[in-house]
Amino acid sequence: MLQVSELSASYGAIRAVRNISLHVPEGSLVAVLGANGAGKSTLVQSIAGVHREKTGSVRLGGRAIQKLPLHRITRMGLALVPEGRHVVTSLTVAENLGLSAFSGRSRPDLLDRVYSLFPRLAERRAQEAGLMSGGEQQMLAMGRALMTDPKVLLLDEPSMGLAPSIIDIIYTAIAALHQEGQSILLIEQDATRALQVADHAHLLQRGEVHMSGSPAELANSEDIRKAYLG
């Protein structure tokens, strides 16, 4: 469903991501792990079309998207839930979810799906997003992406800065989406959480893939246990 080949990304003279290749088969959940500064967010922003200073190829459903503008990439079925959420704080929950209608992929039934995954959003549909907690805003950011009916959902650090109880809710939703057959690329520093839900995982270090394999293979790696799992 998503094929990334020899992707490199830079900030001026600084190369943040180097020759990364990975793929997300249809219906699978692939995790990209790594510490702060490893290049995870640059990688996912480059895939999504947010970061433009890059080389290599990105294909969605067999179609090249690396040179397309962001709005066309969204309309083709790639949705990014960015690090930091970036909800529109002056709009209500319902209005934020309604923003996804521009993609041309939104349908009325998708709202029921979002509210089913995150009942708290249904309860607060008339509330301004800026008055919500960080965890509720994360739910809203995920819901907004799901309103575009994505072929592939990109999640950038969905657990960052959240309380454990809220992380449980977020990962319960991720697991439910995976079970429904949603294709997901999960960018995550919390290796323990990510490996619990992933089908396959990659470890990034200094902008390069250091290790790839099944969750069990990465969890059993001595390097990963010491650095990421405690």
3: CB partners within 8 A, 6+ apart: 23, 57, 58, 59, 62
100, 88, 140, 157 alpha-carbon torsion, rounded to 10°: 100
Other CB atoms within a 10 A radius of the CB of residue 149 amount to 18
Say how many domains are in the chain.
1
The pTM assigned to this predicted structure is: 0.93
CATH code for the domain of 167: 3.40.50.300
174 and 117 Cβ atoms separated by less than 8 Å: no
Mean pLDDT of the 138-150 span: 95
pLDDT in tens, 83-97: 988 999 999 999 999
- CB burial of residue 154 (10 Å; 0-12, 13-18, 19+): buried
Share of the chain above pLDDT 70, in %: 96
Dist. CA 128–CA 35, nearest whole Å:
33
Q: How far is CA 115 from CA 3, 8, 42, 125, 146, in A?
A: 31, 37, 30, 9, 11
Cβ neighbours, 10 Å, residue 97: 24
Q: Are strands 200-205 and 29-33 parallel, antiparallel or unpaired?
A: parallel
Contacts for 62 with CB less than 8 Å, ≥ 6 apart: 3
Question: What average pLDDT score do residues 32-55 get?
Answer: 92
Question: Structural domain of residue 185, as residue ranges?
Answer: 2-229
pLDDT band at 228 (very low <50, low <70, confident <90, very high): low
